[in-house]
Structure 1
């Protein structure tokens, strides 16, 4: 049985195209399982906290595909990282200070009819960038009907429109 496994998946760095493809197939399945363990938010929210695990998983799992690292320790390492990510996410649900440390906070870019120049500089957002997002998110071309604009922890801009008077 061991000989068959070695024939299919190879050993070390001397892998043929079929062995590397077999490894890629198995790593793909393992990556899907790890992402499911990690949770939906890993690719949904796209915060720095969540993007970090995706980048690290890709980098480490690729080593198993090309034979640069032993297969089982590589997969176990990734499982440990995914479980750590999930644990930190669970802790952040119950501890707001810890959540802010992991994810950061949203920044107000526009409020009370004024741009917040300091937050715009911190977020590396120009007025043109802000207006482009206001147009695409709220479908308006002016800040006159905007109550607030935020730079969210995901890097997205969100727009809160002023309430329209009732007729």
Structure 2
């Protein structure tokens, strides 16, 4: 009997590689199908809850692909459950305003009538440079040409020019 010249940490035999070659495409295809069925909201801009679900889905997919002790069907059930929970939470947040306030942060006003609101910027951890970038994105040279800048619930900045 010939011993394996490579350490087990580098190569544990062909069966492990073959398993990954079969399971990874199947799990990936199933995840794409689950996400398509769940609707566009699942893949929308991320708020904190969506970010957590996205990380959990990625972690679950990685476990399905790499863990020998996790069967494909068990992993797919876990993926489906995560997507279903995300669907239920977003549906509840649309129907119940109080629940929505728990799940999502409120937009934060960072600039009003051309003046940066230092306390709000510190609380949101936004710099003057980021406000200036939002101004440029709105097509103005300086923040004092803006009516308002908001930090949206998904982390993006929205700048409103004066006269809009």
Shorter-chain TM-score bucket reads 0.7 to 0.9
- Paired with 1:34 and 1:149, the residues of 2 have a C-alpha distance of 37
Q: Is the 8 A contact 2:109 2:149 kept in 1?
A: yes
Q: Is the 8 A contact 2:42 2:83 kept in 1?
A: no
Q: In the alignment, what sits opposite 2:59?
A: 59
SS at 1:16 equivalent:
helix
TM-score of the superposed pair, with normalisation by structure 2: 0.83
Q: In the alignment, what sits opposite 1:119?
A: 120
- Paired with 1:53 and 1:151, the residues of 2 have a C-alpha distance of 22
**Offset of residue 87 of structure 1:** 0.6
Q: In the alignment, what sits opposite 1:86?
A: 87
Runs of 4+ in 1 over 6 A off after TM superposition: none
**Offset of residue 112 of structure 1:** 3.1
Q: Is the 8 A contact 1:43 1:51 kept in 2?
A: no
User: Equivalent residues in 2 for 1:1-167 (5 A)?
Assistant: 15-68=15-68, 69-135=70-136, 137-163=137-163
Q: Is the 8 A contact 1:151 1:157 kept in 2?
A: yes
- Paired with 2:48 and 2:37, the residues of 1 have a C-alpha distance of 19
SS at 1:155 equivalent:
coil
TM-score of the superposed pair, with normalisation by structure 1: 0.82
Q: 1:115 to 1:144 in 2, by over 3 A?
A: closer
Q: Is the 8 A contact 1:15 1:66 kept in 2?
A: no
1:120-140 C-alpha deviation (Å, 9 max, x unpaired): 1111101112112221x2121
**Offset of residue 111 of structure 1:** 0.9
